[in-house]
């Protein structure tokens, strides 16, 4: 039977997939066709191309599908067996249309294990998950493994936490298992706050049962009977899908009392976050579940010993849990055969920024940055020159071109002054100002600092002020040293990971792009042409034809001039938004 899979992830929904789904259903029933199944899936990770429609078993990949395209797809493809060219994906590198998703280079070079179900099953139907081998791993551990065997298997797999720190998961489970306590908890960290990262969201929306199964396995291994998933408030769809999944799993007996007749009980509750990035930090997250201001607590004691309501608590990230059923099903050796010495398995990255294909990519650990950006990401947008890639979000760092061949794993990234973080990858080209990027991240961490400890509360503020000063052209030579000293002290003495890593984007850009800081300070110039205080927009008289397009688009009315006469920009009024330059067809407006 032919199947039409329509993406209903957040990205595709916002580009109109619900209407496309409706149209398919309507058109098919109008034609009395009943042997074609239409259903919604979770995110394919290629949201930029949404709405995405897949025809199975043909493996056809249609993108940016609009309602009006639907009749044609039905007539031509589903009934006529012909491909509809115009909604095929256009491969930028080779300038060719591609039919099958298996041939799209964005997918072809990925190794989608954790994401294998995303985009292919209906996340709101537990049967789909079970049909693909779901809950087999849970059955296996409950019917044939002791808790210690489970912990050992995870240890042997080499799985490390995907939430940022990269702590060995098996070891963490062992700590919780060994901790004394009559009551223990399993907590799933789904607070995904790194701006630019959305892999956890995709997994929750596209394959929620994988996370539930991973948590239940963990519960069995560490001796917990209760789990919490702490989900960002900004992810309503993920919350809804999780609610549905939990209910279905309880109905089927995969969650609840006496699972698989083993005597093991496990229940999962959802807690919605309330909008604080710092609550992704594990102790803050627990404090928040307890109903307090989400301020981190000192460690030790670690949550494994004293966690939620003082009880031993094992906390892992969404992606970490989603890896667990795979490991149990396929064995630790299989898992450990992928990746590098210290980092096993695959990692999902959220590739964004100035790159041709943006989206979620799952790749084996140890792959180089160049492969991700150029082979999968299709290279830099608009044929511009690569400048840097920021990895690990606000706690990570920027890596320059020289490090493009660095194998991506936990340890090599730390050495290079970045970190895996949750796996955000933001590609920057020559038009990106690195001082501005550092300022952007610092602005974020500064706003999100909980305010509990002095170095982070007061220090990130001062770092930001110095960066602002530099981008405004008021930087002084000693500022760079002050920044470095301050950064070092903040890292060294802050209470939690937020403060301890907040200076990373500044330190890494200072390390690899110091000259850009120096241009801002000494020459009062922004080489990338971004920092507006150091720019001036000008209209070139000989190129301006006086069309007035710029004057119409200027939000502050800074442009004046007679029709057919060269126009002029009033520098006093200009807010340097750049709209006029974008609008001018004659290249008459320049900045510098």
Ligand X SMILES: Cc1cc2nc3c(=O)[nH]c(=O)nc-3n(C[C@H](O)[C@H](O)[C@H](O)COP(=O)(O)O)c2cc1C
Contact residues toward ligand X (CB under 6 A) are: 161-165, 167, 189, 191-193, 278, 280-282, 315-317, 320, 422, 496-498
Partner whose footprint covers residue 192, from ligand X, ligand SF4, ligand FES, none (CB < 5 to 8 Å by kind): ligand X
Contact pick of 38, 40, 44, 444 for ligand FES (by CB under 6 A) = 44
Question: Is 534 a residue that touches ligand SF4 (CB under 6 A)?
Answer: no
What dihedral angle (degrees, nearest 10) is formed by the CA atoms of 93, 99, 102, 104?
Answer: 10
Collapsing DSSP states into helix, strand and coil, what is residue 339? strand
Site for ligand SF4 in 478-497 (CB under 6 A): 494-496
Partner whose footprint covers residue 7, from ligand X, ligand FES, other proteins, none (CB < 5 to 8 Å by kind): ligand FES
Assess contact for 189 and 317: CB atoms under 8 A: yes
Assess contact for 436 and 442: CB atoms under 8 A: no
Assess contact for 119 and 44: CB atoms under 8 A: yes
Partner whose footprint covers residue 282, from ligand X, ligand SF4, other proteins, none (CB < 5 to 8 Å by kind): ligand X
Question: Is 47 a residue that touches other proteins (CB under 8 A)?
Answer: yes
H-run or E-run covering 251 = helix 236-252
Nearer to other proteins, 314 or 390 (CB): 390
Question: Is 221 a residue that touches ligand SF4 (CB under 6 A)?
Answer: no
The residues that bridge with 522 in the sheet, in sequence order, are: none
* Region from 7-15, 217-225, 376-384, 583-591 binding ligand FES, contact rule CB under 6 A: 7-15
Contact pick of 234, 411, 472, 484 for other proteins (by CB under 8 A) = 234
Site for ligand SF4 in 258-287 (CB under 6 A): 278
Interface size with other proteins, residues (CB under 8 A):
89
Dist. CA 43–CA 119, nearest whole Å:
5
Reference 85, options 99, 101, 70; nearest CA is 99
Reference 317, options 477, 163, 470, 506; nearest CA is 163
Angle between helices 136-144 and 208-222 (to 10 degrees): 10
* Region from 45-53, 148-156, 311-319, 459-467 binding ligand FES, contact rule CB under 6 A: 45-53
Contact pick of 4, 24, 27, 50 for ligand FES (by CB under 6 A) = 50
Nearer to other proteins, 235 or 512 (CB): 235
Dist. CA 502–CA 396, nearest whole Å:
8
- What CA–CA distances, in Å, run from 365 to 28, 207, 406, 411, 487? 44, 22, 11, 11, 30
Question: Is 498 a residue that touches ligand SF4 (CB under 6 A)?
Answer: yes
Site for ligand SF4 in 418-477 (CB under 6 A): 449-453, 456-457
Longest dimension (CA), the chain: 85
Nearer to ligand X, 248 or 320 (CB): 320
H-run or E-run covering 6 = strand 2-7
The total of other beta-carbon atoms located within 10 Å of residue 478's CB is 9
User: Minimum CB separation from ligand FES for residue 199, in Å?
Assistant: 11
| Footprint on this chain of ligand FES (rule: CB under 6 A) | 7, 9-12, 43-47, 50, 52, 195-196
């Amino acid at each position: 039977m032919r199947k039409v899979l329509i993406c209903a992830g957040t990205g595709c929904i916002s580009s109109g997939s619900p209407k496309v789904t409706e149209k398919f259903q309507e058109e098919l029933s109008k034609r009395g066709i009943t042997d074609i199944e239409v259903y919604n899936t979770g995110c394919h990770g290629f949201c930029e191309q949404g709405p995405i429609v897949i025809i199975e078993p043909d493996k056809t990949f249609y993108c940016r599908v609009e309602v009006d395209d639907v009749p044609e797809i039905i007539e031509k493809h589903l009934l006529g067996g012909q491909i509809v060219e115009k909604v095929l994906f256009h491969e930028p590198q080779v300038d060719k249309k591609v039919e099958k998703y298996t041939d799209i280079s964005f997918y072809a070079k990925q190794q989608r294990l954790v994401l294998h179900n995303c985009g292919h099953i209906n996340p709101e139907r537990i049967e789909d998950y079970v049909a693909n081998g779901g809950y087999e791993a849970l059955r296996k551990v409950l019917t044939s493994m002791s808790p210690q065997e489970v912990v050992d298997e995870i240890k042997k797999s080499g799985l490390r936490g995907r939430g940022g720190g990269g702590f060995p998961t098996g070891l963490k489970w062992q700590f919780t298992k060994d901790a004394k306590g009559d009551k223990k908890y399993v907590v799933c960290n789904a607070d995904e706050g790194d701006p630019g990262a959305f892999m956890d969201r995709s997994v929750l929306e596209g394959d929620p049962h994988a996370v539930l199964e991973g948590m239940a396995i963990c519960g069995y291994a560490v001796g917990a009977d209760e789990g919490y998933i702490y989900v960002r408030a900004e992810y309503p769809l993920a919350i809804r899908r999780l609610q549905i999944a939990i209910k279905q799993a309880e109905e089927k007996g995969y969650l609840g009392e006496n699972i698989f007749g083993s005597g093991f009980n496990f229940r999962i509750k959802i807690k919605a976050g309330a909008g604080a990035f710092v609550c992704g930090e594990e102790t803050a997250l627990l404090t928040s579940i307890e109903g307090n201001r989400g301020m981190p607590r000192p460690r030790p004691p670690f949550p494994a010993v004293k966690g939620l309501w003082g009880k031993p608590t094992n906390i892992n990230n969404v992606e970490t849990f989603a890896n667990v059923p795979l490991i149990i099903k396929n064995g630790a050796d299989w898992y450990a055969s992928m990746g590098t010495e210290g980092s096993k398995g695959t990692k999902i990255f959220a590739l964004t920024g100035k790159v041709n294909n943006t989206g979620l990519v799952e790749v084996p650990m140890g792959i180089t940055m160049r492969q991700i950006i150029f082979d999968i990401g299709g290279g830099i947008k608009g044929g511009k020159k690569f400048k840097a890639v920021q990895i690990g979000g606000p706690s990570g760092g920027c890596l320059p071109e020289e490090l493009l061949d660095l194998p991506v794993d936990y340890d090599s990234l730390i050495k290079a002054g970045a970190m895996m973080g949750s796996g955000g990858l933001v590609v920057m080209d020559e038009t990106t100002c690195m001082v501005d990027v550092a300022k952007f991240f610092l602005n974020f961490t500064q706003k999100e600092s909980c305010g509990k400890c002095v170095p982070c509360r007061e220090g990130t503020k001062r770092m930001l002020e110095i960066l602002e000063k530099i981008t405004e052209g008021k930087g002084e030579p000693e500022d760079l040293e002050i920044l470095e000293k301050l950064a070092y002290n903040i890292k060294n003495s802050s209470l939690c990971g937020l403060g301890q890593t907040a200076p990373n984007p500044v330190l890494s850009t200072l390390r690899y792009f110091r000259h850009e800081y120096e241009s801002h300070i000494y020459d009062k110039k922004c080489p990338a042409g971004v920092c507006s205080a150091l720019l001036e927009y000008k209209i070139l008289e000989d190129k301006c034809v006086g069309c007035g397009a710029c004057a119409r688009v200027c939000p502050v009315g800074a442009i004046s001039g007679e029709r057919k006469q060269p126009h002029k920009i009033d520098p006093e009024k200009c807010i340097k938004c750049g709209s006029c330059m974008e609008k001018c067809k004659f290249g008459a407006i320049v900045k510098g």
